[in-house]
Amino acid sequence: MPKVVYVDFQGNRNELEVANGMTLMQGAVMNGLDGIEGECSGSCACATCHCYVDEAYLDKLPEMSENEDELLDGTASERLGTSRLSCQIRMTDDLDGIVVQLPEEQ
């Protein structure tokens, strides 16, 4: 099963197995990981699953939707060039080992 490395704001790393087809948000929430809230349950309506994706994986991600782009403009933590909503990233074998940084606040 592919793995995701979630790095919290203090630099603590949590490596979790996330099944293909599940979102990075689902993987975090189902494993009780702090730092991703997912208040809208992954419907791309709240931006409480904001994360920073390691640049090495950006080209492997699906294109950002207009809705995701608009929501990222209103995140609690600074939007960066690597910002994505983890509810919009579905795990695949190509993403095995992906590293995502979690912001200070959601």
13 pLDDT band, cuts 50/70/90, is very high
CA distance 64 to 87: 12
Q: For domain 3-101, give the CATH number.
A: 3.10.20.30
| Three-state DSSP state, 28 | helix
Residues 6+ apart with CB under 8 A from 53: 61, 82, 83, 84, 89, 98, 99, 100
In the chain, the amino acid numbered 58 is L
> Given this model, what pLDDT does residue 36 score?
94
Q: Where are the domains of the chain?
A: 3-101
Residue 86 and residue 28 in contact, taking contact as beta carbons nearer than 8 Å: yes
Q: Token digits for 39? A: 């208040």
Q: Token digits for 40? A: 């809208």
> Given this model, what pLDDT does residue 25 score?
97
53 pLDDT band, cuts 50/70/90, is very high
- The 10s digit of each residue's pLDDT in 54-84 is 999 999 999 999 999 999 999 999 999 999 9
- The 10s digit of each residue's pLDDT in 22-35 is 999 999 999 999 99
